[in-house]
Structure 1
Amino acid sequence: MAEIDPLLVRQLRRLGIEDIDEPPDRETWHKVVARISEHYRHVADDRSLLTRSLDLSTNEMGALHRQLLAERDRLRSVVVAIGDALTIFHDAASSQAEPDRPLDAGSAVSTTTRRFAARLGEILSLGGAARGAAGSRDSDEAINEVRVQLVGLGDRLVQLLADTAEKASLKKQLEVARAVQQMLVPGEDVIARGALRLASHFQPAAECGGDFWTFHDLPGGKMLTVIGDVTGHGISSAIITGAAKAACDLARTLERDALTPARLLALMNCCIFEAGKQRFLMTCAASVFDPEDRSLTFANAGHPFPYLVRNGAVRQLASQGSPLGAASSAEYASSTVQLERSDALLWFTDGVTECESAASEQFGERRLRALFQSVATYTPEEARDAIMAAVSRFHGGRPLDDDMTLVVARVL
């Protein structure tokens, strides 16, 4: 007997026919044929279902691929929009460093707002078209979250531009104020008038302050020196300093021979009281040197007392008086001291004595007094340089919190 197909053998055994040497009867045969037909029908159904599943998977994969490409394009557009906004921000910020190029902050902020908002709308509007019917609630929530985040980013960029513009404007104002302040001090490095030789140092702080000093030639070969310090920092202090310098110049012009340090301080007090409205005060020390008898007449308005070194001994030229601007009228008293050849004098502001080391220790008057005493035999410029070198080493080269001004004089 020929070999029977294994599939037929399995079907016969499922029907209970173990003996396959003899052909089955008609009824059994019909059952076998029906079972085989059903088997192949199921195979065809499974193949059809698999084909449909593959088709659906292919379509879904294609839709996902297209959505992924759309999301990639949207992300790329977001990056480009953010890059454009950052470019405008960079241009606005970098223009601060160019003094000849004014910063148009309003235009920069407006341009950034319009461009970023318009581009953001275009990008987000692509979401619905790209998703179509395949969009879901989760996807919509994700897009809304992206929208919120991007709008918040745009707001922060615009705020950064506004803050940068404000800081740039303030920086330019401070630069102007500092330039004006620099004009209030003599440009000469060393000043020689007969028997008196002076050397000065003026170092403004990082923020505009209120130090100034000046000298004037008076009739009879006399010389006036004035040093002052307005309380506080900033543009307002610089303005008060300018008012004080103007009052000093006016008093010198009007009083001429009759000008004394006490009279000068009284006139300056009236000006600063009116200009500062008691919100700003100024300490000041004024001196008049008379070369004829080598005398120094001085008055003080709350300023650190000057030092006088003679034969290695140091003393303070003390004279009492309230700071300028504290009251509408104030009286100041002048004192006179006879100077001798080789005497050394030092005027300074509290920015020198109150500068701090890295350990927050102040330089102090005691240290300054001892240092000046040790360099009093130097020329004024040498003594000035030695003092400032010591102060700089003590301070450690960090940004100053206050202006530093000092004037060294020596009687020849």
Structure 2
Amino acid sequence: MLIMIIKMMSIVAAHILLTVLLWRRFQGRKLPVHQKILIGVIFGLCGVLSNHFNVNYGHSLLNIRDLSPLVAGLFFDPVSGIIAGFIAGIERYIIGTYFGIGSYTRIACSVSTCMAGILAAFMSVYLFDRKKPSAIYGFFMGAVVEVFHMYMVFLTHRRDITTALMVVKNNSIPMIFFTAFGLFLTSLFLQILAREWVNPFTYKSLDKVHVSQKFRFWLFVFTAGVLTLNFAISHMMHTQKAVEDANAKMETSISDIVTQYSHLKSFDEEILEKLEFHVGSEGTFDIIRNRSRYLAGTHKGYLVSNEVLEAIKKNESSDYFNMIFYGVDSRCKIVSLDENTFLLVTLPLTEVFDDRDTRSYESLFANIIMLAVLFVLITQLVKNIVVDNLDTVNESLNKITNGNLKEEVSVYDSSEFASLSNDINQMVTALKGYITAAEKRVEQELSFAKSVQASALPKNYNFNRDDFEIYATMDPAKQVGGDFYDFFFVGPGKLALVIADVSGKGIPAALFMMRSKTAIRTVAEQDYSPVEVLEKANLSLCEGNDEKMFVSVWLGIIDLNTGVMKCCNAGHEYPMIRREDKSYELYEDPHAPILGLKKKLNLTEYELIMNPGDSIFVYTDGIPEAADVYESLYGLDRLKKALNETKKATMKETLLAVTKDIESFTTDAEQFDDITMLGFRFLGSEP
């Protein structure tokens, strides 16, 4: 047996090695027709080699020929499996019919090998969706194919069932196991190489287990349980009937022998020695005299062995008993013929249970095939009727939950799914209504917030002074933003200019904008320098800022009497400065961190000397980051160009021209950020 196991495992290893090499060569590709044929031919030749390189075991030849078409069809292509199956199957029939190699089982072997290729193709397409089967599925598929193979031996030898039973008893376990184990290992290795292997024994919470997996598991358990119970009951009944038939057969023989003995016992022993009877096909009878020798029967002339004498003594009063009689496990009965003479009748247990074993093997194989067919058919039906529809519904629900409320569930294959689809669609319709109403309320709230925000910005640009000109605009995006500008006097002849951009959108940004504007103005009106204003405003903004919001700020305070402007930039855009009769240029002033995140900041203050006619233009990032429909950005170069095209214009005209240029650039593109700008021109001291 050990030699057989080693040889069979070597053949399995060779199959796996070939499969791995071919899989590495063709993995991840859609195979053209000629490659499908090539793979089919290669595995077909493997099946042919299996026909000729068999393993001799118990006067029979073992092979795993069916493994080749199974591997080709399941792991490469259905067409390859069919080709491999027919090549190996037809060759098996030819060598059995015309060359006498395994001629007894040629039909069963040929049919099963062809069917292996067809089954692999069918399962690959309809059950596994052309994906690699798991190792567990591979094991069961290999086992079922070989069970069919053994069943075909019975079906094709109904007139010689005894020999068929002998072949099946000898070959079934090793061929079923090694074919199944070969397919198991092949699937396992390929899944590991493809990094698709998942430990089937890893615990999964119930919400991670697919309903199809649960159904297949319990279907297998209950179906296998019912068929196993059916087989066990059937086996018990066949066993009882076999025993009863053997007893009846032996009783008939005993009756005949006793009758004949009664007629001849008065004659000489030489006459008795000539008694001849048949007990079944291979049974024996022996007349034992004086518990020492066989007077007549199968073993006449022999001395009775001690083992037989012990058995006679032990079972003399028994009805039937089993013992090993001359090396044969037999059913026996002892009958007393007279005071010193006994009749021992035996019937080999193999003969007793041959019919039972045949029926049991056929019943077992039929049950396994029936289990496999029922499992596949029911699984496929449930998949088509329930699981696929559930997947369709879940796919639509995922789209809906991801925000696509235009998705409609349309599964109407049954009343249950039709009701489910209608309920979900009605729910989505109602949800649309709620969302529309909510959007209207939000729009109203945002509109109100925008109004409040806009009302907080200064709109009076006339100060009854001739020493400066100022104008500012804020064009908000659809959402409420955090941009703001401000300008106000902080003392006699001192004007503060502020432009800022708060992080985020919506109501939180608007609230933080109001808070920032108030903090900066409150501190600035106390006649602090720009650095001090931003430092104190930052401390105020850091308090209670759990959401970690922040604001970038540019602050300039100009002394209108001297033209000296003290400035501080906390993470805001660089200003544009234009000297009289010159062009606007980007002024890269010193930058400091934004406000609201850290209490200690390293702020830098700088001075600008504004001469009469000089202008400064500050803005938020909504201008350079404005995008057209192609997602191209407006940029600083275009902004500078637009400013320089309006050198002689008033600040109001300049800002409106910039706004118009931005609109012409973005055209129909949606505005995603506020566009805020402030322009200041110094005209000189009052006379």
Query: Structure 1 length normalisation: TM-score?
Result: 0.60
Counterparts in 2 of 1:152 and 1:361: CA distance versus 1, 3 Å: closer
Which of these residues, 434, 452, 455, is aligned with residue 183 of structure 1?
Answer: 455
d(CA) in 2 for partners of 1:405, 1:216? 17
The answer on 1:238 being equivalent to 2:510 is yes
C-alpha deviation, 1:340, in angstroms: 0.9
Where 2:504 maps in the other structure, the secondary structure is coil
Cα deviation per residue 1:239-289 (whole Å; 9 max; x = unaligned)? Answer: 110110111232134x2x3x2111111122122222433621211000111
Cα deviation per residue 1:77-105 (whole Å; 9 max; x = unaligned)? Answer: xxxxxxxxxxxxxxxxxxxxxxxxxxxxx
d(CA) in 1 for partners of 2:532, 2:591? 14
Residues 523 and 536 of structure 2 are in contact (CA less than 8 Å); yes or no, is this contact kept in structure 1? Answer: yes
The answer on 1:295 being equivalent to 2:561 is no
Tell me the equivalent position of 1:328: 599
Which of these residues, 307, 316, 322, is aligned with residue 576 of structure 2?
Answer: 307
d(CA) in 2 for partners of 1:149, 1:389? 51
Residues 306 and 345 of structure 1 are in contact (CA less than 8 Å); yes or no, is this contact kept in structure 2? Answer: yes
Tell me the equivalent position of 2:428: 156
C-alpha deviation, 1:151, in angstroms: 4.0
Larger mean Cα displacement after TM superposition, 171-180 or 278-287: 171-180
Tell me the equivalent position of 2:663: 392
Cα deviation per residue 1:167-192 (whole Å; 9 max; x = unaligned)? Answer: 23332332232222212311235666
Which of these residues, 168, 177, 183, is aligned with residue 440 of structure 2?
Answer: 168
d(CA) in 2 for partners of 1:192, 1:234? 37
Tell me the equivalent position of 1:273: 542
Cα deviation per residue 1:7-31 (whole Å; 9 max; x = unaligned)? Answer: xxxxxxxxxxxxxxxxxxxxxxxxx
Which of these residues, 525, 529, 551, is aligned with residue 260 of structure 1?
Answer: 529
Map 1:133-148 onto structure 2 (within 5 A).
none
Tell me the equivalent position of 2:552: 283
Counterpart residue identity of residue 295, structure 1 = V
* % identical equivalent positions: 22
Cα deviation per residue 1:353-392 (whole Å; 9 max; x = unaligned)? Answer: 1101122111111221232233233211111121111111
d(CA) in 1 for partners of 2:649, 2:507? 37
Map 1:63-74 onto structure 2 (within 5 A).
none
Query: What RMSD over aligned residues (CA atoms) do the two structures have, in Å?
Result: 2.2
C-alpha deviation, 1:212, in angstroms: 0.3
Residues 306 and 347 of structure 1 are in contact (CA less than 8 Å); yes or no, is this contact kept in structure 2? Answer: yes
Counterparts in 2 of 1:145 and 1:403: CA distance versus 1, 3 Å: closer
Which of these residues, 476, 483, 501, is aligned with residue 204 of structure 1?
Answer: 476
Residues 297 and 336 of structure 1 are in contact (CA less than 8 Å); yes or no, is this contact kept in structure 2? Answer: yes
C-alpha deviation, 1:196, in angstroms: 1.2
Where 1:346 maps in the other structure, the secondary structure is strand
The answer on 1:217 being equivalent to 2:486 is no
d(CA) in 2 for partners of 1:239, 1:332? 25
Map 1:106-117 onto structure 2 (within 5 A).
none
d(CA) in 2 for partners of 1:275, 1:191? 37
Q: Which has the higher contact order (CA 8 A, sep 6+)?
A: 1
Larger mean Cα displacement after TM superposition, 274-283 or 336-345: 274-283
Counterparts in 2 of 1:154 and 1:403: CA distance versus 1, 3 Å: same
Counterparts in 2 of 1:194 and 1:223: CA distance versus 1, 3 Å: farther
Tell me the equivalent position of 1:347: 618
Residues 243 and 271 of structure 1 are in contact (CA less than 8 Å); yes or no, is this contact kept in structure 2? Answer: no
Q: Give ranges in structure 2 of 5+ residues lacking alignment.
A: 1-413
Which of these residues, 512, 522, 538, is aligned with residue 250 of structure 1?
Answer: 522
Which of these residues, 637, 641, 647, is aligned with residue 370 of structure 1?
Answer: 641
d(CA) in 2 for partners of 1:405, 1:277? 27
Residues 298 and 335 of structure 1 are in contact (CA less than 8 Å); yes or no, is this contact kept in structure 2? Answer: yes
Counterpart residue identity of residue 489, structure 2 = D
Tell me the equivalent position of 1:337: 608
d(CA) in 1 for partners of 2:659, 2:462? 15
C-alpha deviation, 1:193, in angstroms: 4.3
Counterpart residue identity of residue 285, structure 1 = W
C-alpha deviation, 1:339, in angstroms: 1.0
d(CA) in 1 for partners of 2:432, 2:547? 37
Counterparts in 2 of 1:155 and 1:411: CA distance versus 1, 3 Å: same
d(CA) in 1 for partners of 2:465, 2:530? 19
Please identify the structure whose Cα radius of gyration is greater: 2
Cα deviation per residue 1:282-324 (whole Å; 9 max; x = unaligned)? Answer: 1100011111111111111010121111131435161221111
Where 2:543 maps in the other structure, the secondary structure is helix
C-alpha deviation, 1:147, in angstroms: 5.4
Query: Structure 2 length normalisation: TM-score?
Result: 0.37
Residues 261 and 287 of structure 1 are in contact (CA less than 8 Å); yes or no, is this contact kept in structure 2? Answer: yes
Which of these residues, 626, 629, 634, is aligned with residue 358 of structure 1?
Answer: 629
Counterpart residue identity of residue 175, structure 1 = S
Counterpart residue identity of residue 560, structure 2 = P
d(CA) in 2 for partners of 1:309, 1:359? 32
d(CA) in 2 for partners of 1:309, 1:192? 24
d(CA) in 1 for partners of 2:475, 2:464? 22
C-alpha deviation, 1:408, in angstroms: 1.2
Residues 200 and 384 of structure 1 are in contact (CA less than 8 Å); yes or no, is this contact kept in structure 2? Answer: yes
Residues 627 and 669 of structure 2 are in contact (CA less than 8 Å); yes or no, is this contact kept in structure 1? Answer: no
Tell me the equivalent position of 1:13: none
d(CA) in 2 for partners of 1:172, 1:348? 28
Residues 349 and 406 of structure 1 are in contact (CA less than 8 Å); yes or no, is this contact kept in structure 2? Answer: yes
Q: Give ranges in structure 1 of 5+ residues lacking alignment.
A: 1-140
Where 1:232 maps in the other structure, the secondary structure is coil
d(CA) in 1 for partners of 2:673, 2:465? 30
Where 2:601 maps in the other structure, the secondary structure is coil
Residues 191 and 197 of structure 1 are in contact (CA less than 8 Å); yes or no, is this contact kept in structure 2? Answer: no
Tell me the equivalent position of 1:62: none
C-alpha deviation, 1:152, in angstroms: 4.1
